[in-house]
Homo-oligomer: A and B are copies of this chain.
Amino acid sequence: MPDDKSYTCQVRALHEDAVEAARSSSLPDDEVFELARLFTVLGDPTRTRILRALRSGELCVCDVSHVLGMSISSVSHQLRVLREHNLVKARRDGKIVFYTLADPHVLDLHETALEHVRE
């Protein structure tokens, strides 16, 4: 962090108390990254649609593909991302793999976010 003009403003404009207050209440780095990563996972329209589809109960990959009108492969890739972040759970029954929401809490995030989106 070079201390030149292009990088920071002149010292006299700083509000040191406010900066210190913000610093001391900040999240640990790893939590910041995990938090951001979770939102990133939620922040893809395809994955959003998959989570919404699973609200009504378990679906196999093929079902999800039909609901979304997208290829099996694409859906499977995204289900993997959701699985890796513990947002959905997989259960194999013979040739078919069924997916369910791992944690209904995720839908709380949708609800709160929808309130913001709808103003």
Contact = CB atoms under 8 A, between A and B. Distances in A.
Interface of A: 1, 6-9, 13-15, 18-19, 21-23, 25-27, 31-45, 47-49, 52-67, 69, 71-73, 86, 95-96, 103, 105-106, 108-110, 112-118
A56 B18 contact: yes
A29 to B, nearest CB: 8
A32 to B, nearest CB: 5
Given A19-B63, A57-B18, A105 B115 contact: yes
Contacts of A110: 35
A105 B116 contact: yes
A54 B22 contact: yes
A112 B117 contact: no
Given A9-B62, A34-B117, A26 B45 contact: no
Given A22-B54, A39-B43, 9 more contacts: A6-B72, A19-B67, A22-B52, A22-B56, A31-B117, A33-B45, A34-B117, A35-B114, A108-B112
